[in-house]
Chains A and B, each alone.
Chain A
Amino acid sequence: MSEQLCQHTEVKLSGYLDGELTQQESQTIYLHLKSCERCQQLYQELKSMQQSVAQLEKPTMSELELKKIMNDRPSRGFQWIGWLLLITGVSVIVAFTAYQFISSEGPLWIKLTLSAIYGGVAFLFLTVLRQRIIARKTDKYKGVDL
């Protein structure tokens, strides 16, 4: 059997062993193996080695360990409560400050100008926040690099 054919077969022997070749490719390898003793021997050796590796013992976690991991995880619920408290607190302060500002003495045009500036900053912040949230929800590559 020609050296070249053996070389061609050898490269694909693992693919053949794992059933990862196309039908045509595996047919070629199958036929070659039938006629080439050397490749057949290599194939048998790889096969038995594969079976031995498959039978290697897998160390396991005890059920207790698994349970501990499952119960130890940080609760998402607490995170939500934290955010809710923070947002409520900030809202109350903002509302109170706004009320103080509006009911305080001073010319109307200054109040309006300052309100426009604060309102503008808040609006820009919300726009950026919205964009970031949309990106976070739709980015399919998010979390790939964990």
Chain B
Amino acid sequence: MRVKIRDLVTKLKAVPRQRWAWLSAGVGGACLVFGGWWNSLPLFGIGAVSFALGALWILGWRTSRAAPAAAVAAPAAPAVVQQPRAPVAPEDTEGLVEQMLAQGRYALMLRPQVVANLSPAHRDRTRDELTEQMAFVPAGEVELGPWDEHSINPKEEDDDAHKSVYRVDAYYLDRYSVTNRQFLEFVMAGGYEQMALWDAKILPAVIDFVDQTGSLGPRYWRHGRYHEGSEDQPVIGVSWYEAMAYARWVGKRMPTDAEWVKAACWPVPLGPGSRMQRRYPWGDNMDRERANIWGSGPGRIVSVTEFGSGVSVGGVYQLVGNVWEWTASNFGAGGYGRPELVLPNPMKSVRGGAFDTYFDNQATSQFQSGENPIARRYNVGFRCALGACDVSFSDNGEAAEPEAELQEAGA
């Protein structure tokens, strides 16, 4: 008996909604007629309610059929409300330093020309901020390409044809991708209106770098603000030019392809012309617990501090997975990777894979993809770099490499 009832319920559930609607309207209509015929108020009332419900259902169903809902809906979380920082008087050095630290612009204060003017306390705080936020990558050689060993036919191709060796100077790389919270500082400080930060050729397009509501800002924001709960997620929906402008504003720059790969592969010299490079930041084998790629994570962008076990030797998080990262280099330049490709338009190199990268071999340290520099994609973010020669660690403003970090890095 129980099984029969269950079968009946299953069958009833399988009846399409529009049939229920028509049934409800039909029965309601019949009750209305007979209720009126027999002067039965309860029957007439039930009929009226049933008919109205059925009619509304049908109307709703028709409307939804005429304009079906979007298969991929835009995020609907409310935007964060945050007030711009109060302006600081030029003579208020203390306030100015505090504001620049809060905005993440410590790199500007460590310039050799500026650092000598800071008080010892401010100097120490700024240096601490640098070492906390950025990882040191020692100078050395790095080999770029091929992006996948299996993509080369050993019978036809020379093994070295797709490789290039680059010399990289010592530099610092952001430990985390630039977050929404950090990018908001740039937006609130009027970064989109400061023409000096932008490439001259892109100026006409800057007014088109708007969010969902038409305010200047990353593509997926609303009213110039990020969505609540996404403050520690990497900023996405920014073009290569917006990333460059942000980097300039914080006193940094974008890493080149070679710099990015060096931080991820962490090459160890074995002898003249030979070196050992890691396929992934943590080693040579893919471990899906360590990166947010397709099938390993929640299927969306996560906070920049998650997947801590995938950290690189130098202490850089999420070099692989979560979001692709813009680099300063052109895609297809340098003779490594896939030189046979014909590009529809000049592209910039993106690296590292994203939360929806499907294949493991496209989430390696070596894999390079290209993207239109003006594109504002849902899975492309960036992180910044800073040349070691551009910061000073001595009180007299001389640029020097931090010895302690060099030793730690094994360089």
The finding on whether chains A and B are genuine partners in a shared complex, rather than unrelated, reads: no
Interface residues of A (CB under 8 A from B): none
